[in-house]
């Protein structure tokens, strides 16, 4: 079915919200990049955004742990997406958990305008608590893809990004030296070990 429909003689795009969520090291950004590159290959106009706080691999590009990258625009606030994402077919948003709660309204507005919105982010933080606007985005999404890392301790599907250092700050950018993907059982054991 075509992404464009006809209404009263006018051609209109059908918008939608797609959410890719899961723990760290689960391939969220890799999947986001894959979908965005496919849209570019189909000659659709694509705009990609990430929070300015995310400078782990690159100041501007969205980069996966595997090293795949796509050009993006770092922004402070979700409101900027409405301005910068105007007149585009597809909007990609990485690390959505770091944006303000208004991101849900922004994504809904874009989808209602006919834009395909693809959002990737952590659905829970290192304590297993729903993270930022991600739970609300999952609720309003047309499609939710939950991806999983592999638990580094037992090989089961990972549930959470366990923080391996003693730091309680909710937002702490880091990689494998600070976080490890754990299944629910191994996560509970890790919490017991810390007591």
Structure tokens at 99: 């944006």
In whole angstroms, give the CA distance from residue 50 to residue 73: 6
- pLDDT above 90 covers a percentage of the chain that reads 64
Structure tokens at 76: 């402070």
CB atoms within 10 A of CB 148: 16
Place of tokens 């494998």: 176
Q: Are 93 and 49 in contact (CB under 8 A)?
A: yes
Provide the whole-model pTM: 0.86
Domain boundaries along the sequence of the chain: 4-148
Better-scored residue on pLDDT, 83 or 167: 83
Give domain 4-148's CATH architecture: 3-Layer(aba) Sandwich (3.40)
Structure tokens at 21: 């969520």
State whether residue 130 is helix, strand or coil.
Answer: strand
In whole angstroms, give the CA distance from residue 121 to residue 143: 14
Better-scored residue on pLDDT, 66 or 162: 162
In whole angstroms, give the CA distance from residue 14 to residue 87: 14
Answer yes or no: is pLDDT of 165 > 90.
Answer: no
Q: Return the active site residues.
A: 95
52 confidence band (pLDDT: 50, 70, 90)? confident
């Amino acid at each position: 079915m075509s992404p464009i429909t006809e209404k009263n003689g006018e051609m209109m795009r059908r918008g939608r919200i797609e959410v890719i969520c899961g723990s760290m090291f689960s391939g969220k950004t890799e999947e986001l990049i894959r979908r965005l590159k496919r849209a570019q290959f189909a000659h659709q106009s694509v705009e990609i955004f990430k929070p300015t706080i995310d400078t782990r691999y690159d100041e501007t590009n969205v980069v996966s742990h595997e090293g795949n990258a796509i050009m993006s625009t770092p922004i402070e606030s979700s409101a900027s997406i409405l301005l910068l994402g105007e007149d585009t077919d597809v909007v990609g948003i990485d690390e959505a958990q770091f944006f303000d709660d208004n991101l849900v309204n922004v994504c809904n507005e874009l989808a209602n305008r006919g834009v395909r919105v693809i959002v990737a982010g952590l659905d829970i933080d290192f304590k297993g608590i729903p993270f930022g606007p991600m739970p609300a985005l999952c609720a309003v999404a047309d499609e939710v893809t939950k991806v999983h890392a592999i638990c580094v301790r037992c090989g089961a599907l990972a549930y959470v990004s366990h923080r391996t250092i003693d730091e309680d700050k909710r937002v702490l950018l880091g990689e494998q030296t600070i976080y490890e993907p754990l299944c629910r059982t191994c996560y509970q054991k890790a919490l017991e070990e810390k007591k």
